[in-house]
Structure 1
Amino acid sequence: MTRYLYLCVLGVLLATPAAAELTLSFPGPATETFSQTEEFESYKLPVGPYADGFVQTLVAEGRQITRAWRVDVGVGTSLLVMDSLRQQLEASGFELLYECTTDICGGFDFRFTTEVLPEPLMHVDLGDFRFLSAQRLGGAVPEYVSLFVSRGADSAFVQMVLMGSPDATSLTAKSGGKVAQIAPSVPSVKFGSVVEVLLRDGHAVLDDLEFNTGSSALGEGKFLSLVDLAGYLKENPTIRVALVGHTDAEGSLDGNVSLSRKRAQSVAARLRSEFDIPSRQIEAEGVGYLSPRASNLTEEGRTLNRRVEVIITSTQQ
């Protein structure tokens, strides 16, 4: 009997694959913007929201596959894409560990405490993103996956990190159209009012701002972007926005984060003092050089990276 049971167990183990390939399909044409596989890596998988200064994580080790895509599925797509991918993960045997939307995740703090690829490889709208983490047990090595989904003007952006066995873990993504590698490019300057861009994309760069040289103090000019933004906030008193400062990559991270935050705070102070915008409608943060929109290897790129953006953080009417 003992030998019989041993042979049965051995047969089951030999018949059970260490891990199955994960195959996902997007609900529209997808363009891959990043792909990297590391044979053995350690990854802090978020399994809870940002709270008390940190995000609760689970440390996963093994083969790490990091991929990112831009998915063409129209306006307002983050929910559509996340629902589709979640259902496919569950059908593949993954069980959810944690799932959240912008405010529940922790908003700004969750995004910048979590490992996310930089622009333009991965775009995260701080007013509209979704995240989930999941696990698949039963193989020789547990598998873990994280999904970050956000939106752009007419696209969704997806980042996936898959952790598992160095011998068997693999990922295949199918597009609704031809998938092609693209090289990051410097975005073109968007014309039109700040509010038009803000309502269309969920975020907008205040391109006409000028700061005193080597200072966080906002110049004394009559900046049309602030006039436009202030008018919109006055007409919509329930809308809240975040001003986010950015720098180029010269200097230390701590110094750049501090400078970028002070510049965003300077813009917020101008909106309050000159346009009487209530403090409850504005928050100001800085991320230093962590979210570039162009290469820091050229002067043109560094100039584009030094900016203050406005982001809608509440859409309640």
Structure 2
Amino acid sequence: MRPIILSLLAAASLQANAQPNFNKDIAGGSDHPLVHRYEGSMLYMVGGTNLGQVKVVDTEAGKPVLKKVEGKTANRYYWGPKGRSPLEIHRNYQQALTAAGFKVLYACETDQCEKAKVQNLVQELPREVNWKSFDAYVSSTFNSANQPGFHLVSAAKPGPGGNTYVMVALSEYTDFQRVRQFVQIVEPTVMEGGKVTVDTRAIQEGLQRDGKVALYGVTFDTNKAVIREQSSEQLEQMAKALQAQPRMKVFIVGHTDDQGEFEANMALSQKRAQAVADALAGKYGIQASRLMPRGVANMAPVASNASDEGRAKNRRVELVVR
């Protein structure tokens, strides 16, 4: 997870920043629907990515460690209400997460955090955060020198698409008598494919050089062999490459990831390969005898199926010279 914050900046740098307006949220900002703010806090900064890799704090052999995860990230940074203690805010977050079914991966309060050097562990993570804006108040939230009142809770909740992670780290800004709260949510997501079309020339070069070419611009409805409309451009480029080499015969090979039963994936990949062959023959006039559709399910992965990113790479259609 990519929480929080860099090295401690000089006091003069902090003083150069105008005091935040504690009565007004950042324009266009709102709480994440999964994790609402501590009551009375002001939303100071927001950020996030649709699909990214971040680090969350986990436990290994009883000690805090950073674990890399990926998903849809949402970052929130709050100033707490004046006079509320870091301990009170921390325990409210931890209680709310537990009540919502999250399992705490790691949590510490000030003394324990300092003993385990948790601030030092996470101090560089803010560099990775995609903030809407960024300033010295955020960059000094915690560091290797132990900002006062530092607390952290990192938790996870399993779901059908994978784990959802929430990490809350906070420290006290004594000049304002307010607690700074970094909240990051990482939700499982599947990369939207079909965003890159391989053109005719690249297809021809791949077939001549390697005897095959992988195509991600042909996409299907989930668990179906229905070709999506946005695949038409990629199909057209495939047809042009085959029209330019009229004697070439090819396998059209459907590949899936490893999710679901193998036999079901075999049947699905075959149907998808057949759908591509039917489209090339019926819509673009490629002779059907030149096209041999075959489905191989997840028997030829090009990446690990352990992550969403790897599974997205494995779901593809290939043209293979025969």
TM-score range, shorter chain: 0.3 to 0.5
Larger Rg: 2
Q: Whose strand fraction is larger, Structure 1's or Structure 2's?
A: 1
Q: Under a length normalisation based on structure 2, what TM-score does the superposition of the two structures give?
A: 0.37
